[in-house]
Structure 1
Amino acid sequence: MAASADTARTMLPVHQAGQCSVAATGEIVGSKWTVLIVHDLSEGPRRFTALEHACAGISPRTLAERLRWLEAEGIVVRRSYAESPPRVEYELTEKGDALKPIIDEMRRFGHDWLGCDVHSA
């Protein structure tokens, strides 16, 4: 069905991350491990080893790279504590918190359509 003459097209003819908000968001949430890391951090700060255990199959190198990338994007902040032994935690920023509704919808979709009932109420 064709769009009516008074309906404005909201999609860009070419979806590029620098110009299309959906493409830019897709680059973030579509990167392997990113959604799982954000999901884990949505419940509060986590240490590297906790994230590594939660993301079964991720290598320490990949996790470190992904966390650095999320820091560079302003989604995650790394906090170091001067303790013995030193402690480092990762936490979502305000920008990272803004991804929570996307994670919530992914969870709902998984429950409703994919039979993933582990966290259902």
Structure 2
Amino acid sequence: MRKPLPADMFDELCPSSLLPMRFGDKWAPLVICCLEGGPRRFSELRVPLWRVTPKVLTQSLRSLERSGFVIRHAGQAMVEYELTPLGRSLLGPIAVARDWAQEHWDELLDAREAYDAGLTGSVAGRKE
């Protein structure tokens, strides 16, 4: 039996929300991370991805399937999603990007706060 995915796998303070690049849509890297341990049912993916509506999660899974990152296994009783070898090849780059975001977490948050406050010149290193 597979270990369940933790509900707080991607909490609101998760560095993945600050990734400077995207693999597919906004949620694709999170879906890919959820599938790292093996095939998962849609309902299993919904646990850590509770902020994603079912419709958007379905769209993300279809997009990942279309791009060759995920394969959909439809059995009589259930449907599971699994990473393809191409999808698995993204785990390394996603981990590097996640580590980078975690390392620069404070800088990223400061930049966003400054931008929202209208102070982009001083944070971005540009002279006004």
Is the TM value for this pair above 0.5? yes
* 1:56 paired to 2:50: yes
Which amino acid in 2 is paired with 1:57? R
Structure 1 residue 28 displacement after superposition: 5.5
Aligned pairs (5 A) from 1:16-27 = none
Within 1, Cα distance between the matches of 2:103 and 2:25? 24
Kept after mapping to 1: 8 A contact 2:24/2:64: no
Within 2, Cα distance between the matches of 1:30 and 1:71? 11
| Bigger CA radius of gyration | 1
Within 1, Cα distance between the matches of 2:24 and 2:79? 26
* 1:100 paired to 2:91: yes
Aligned positions, number: 87
TM-score by length of 1: 0.63
Structure 1 residue 114 displacement after superposition: 2.2
Structure 1 residue 33 displacement after superposition: 0.4
Partner of 2:119: none
The verdict on how the C-alpha distance between 1:46 and 1:28 changes in structure 2, with shifts beyond 3 A counting, is same
Q: Unmatched 5+ residue regions in structure 1?
A: 1-25, 116-121
Superposed CA RMSD: 2.1
Within 1, Cα distance between the matches of 2:22 and 2:105? 23
Runs of at least 4 residues of structure 1 off by over 4 A?
none
Give the SS at the match of 2:47. Answer: helix
Q: Which has the higher contact order (CA 8 A, sep 6+)?
A: 2
Deviations 1:89-112 (Å, cap 9, x if unpaired)? Answer: 100001101101112112322443
Q: Unmatched 5+ residue regions in structure 2?
A: 1-19, 107-128
